[in-house]
């Protein structure tokens, strides 16, 4: 629902079963992303977990990168991102994603955007503020944020610095789109 609220997607497709109230009734099946998002200028998958310990890395690290690579291979006509959302980001998970973003996974860098739930809530609050002022968040603004988060990985020598910088990137992005 948060992804639907954020912007002007062409289609947001959850791969998990939902009830009559459109709430998830179970997790997405194995070997598919939790959510697939299609926009005019880019596509994305969204992977969500409630895991916060080392099991986050074990259950999400390789599968998330594999899901993104398969999604990239199926959607070669546009840039593809993965939005990874968790209550807290475990250091092993971050190290794994940082390597894929900064260097490569299966021979080519990936565009994984790791966000804590707190970071995602900040995006939703920004959306609410824009809507209250009669403004609309377009998907191009969202892809700009994703690109900024990914590109900052090159500025740091370790993954923890990169992740600690994400709220700063969000704050700077927020100031620009609120003008």
C-alpha 134/C-alpha 75 separation (Å) is 33
pLDDT computed for residue 16 by the predictor: 86
Please report which confidence band the pLDDT of residue 26 belongs to, taking 50, 70 and 90 as the band edges. confident
Mean pLDDT, residues 82-99 taken together: 96
- Cα-based distances in Å from 45 to 3, 13, 52, 132, 179: 11, 9, 20, 28, 29
Give the SS3 label for residue 42: strand
Q: What is the pLDDT of residue 19?
A: 84
Asked whether the predicted pLDDT for residue 24 surpasses 90, the reply is: no
Partners of 115 in beta bridges:
85
C-alpha dihedral (70, 74, 75, 79), degrees to nearest 10? 20
The number of domains in the chain is 1
Domain containing residue 20: CATH number: 3.40.91.50
Confidence of residue 130 (pLDDT cuts 50, 70, 90): confident
Among the listed ranges 2-11, 37-46, 62-71, which one has the minimum average pLDDT value?
A: 2-11
Mean pLDDT, range 18-26, rounded to an integer? 80
Q: What is the distance between the alpha carbons of residues 15 and 95, in angstroms, rounded to a whole number?
A: 27
Residue range(s) defining the domain that contains residue 70:
2-177
pLDDT at residue number 5: 59
pLDDT over 90 for what percent of the chain? 68
Given CA atoms 120, 121, 127, 133 in this order, what sign does their dihedral have?
Answer: negative
User: Three-state secondary structure along 47-87?
Assistant: EECCCCCHHHHHHHHHHHHHHHHHHHHHCCCCEEEEEEEEC
Q: In this predicted structure, what is the pLDDT of residue 21?
A: 82
Mean pLDDT for the stretch of residues 138-148: 92
Average pLDDT over residues 48-76: 95
């Amino acid at each position: 629902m948060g992804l639907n609220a954020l912007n002007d997607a062409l289609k947001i497709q959850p791969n998990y079963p939902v009830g009559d109230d459109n709430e998830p009734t179970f997790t997405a099946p194995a070997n598919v992303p939790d959510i697939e998002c299609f926009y005019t200028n880019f596509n994305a998958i969204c992977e969500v977990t409630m895991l916060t310990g080392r099991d986050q890395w074990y259950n999400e690290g390789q599968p998330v990168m594999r899901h993104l690579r398969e999604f990239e291979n199926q959607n070669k006509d546009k840039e593809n991102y993965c939005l990874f959302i968790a209550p807290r980001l475990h250091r092993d998970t971050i190290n794994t994603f940082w390597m894929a973003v900064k260097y490569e996974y299966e021979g080519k860098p990936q565009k994984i955007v790791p966000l804590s739930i707190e970071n995602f809530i900040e995006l939703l609050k920004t959306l609410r503020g824009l809507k209250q002022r009669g403004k609309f968040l377009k998907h191009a603004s969202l892809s700009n944020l994703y690109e900024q988060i990914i590109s900052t990985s090159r500025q740091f020598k370790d993954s923890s610095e990169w992740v600690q910088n994400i709220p700063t990137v969000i704050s700077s992005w927020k100031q620009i789109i609120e003008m």
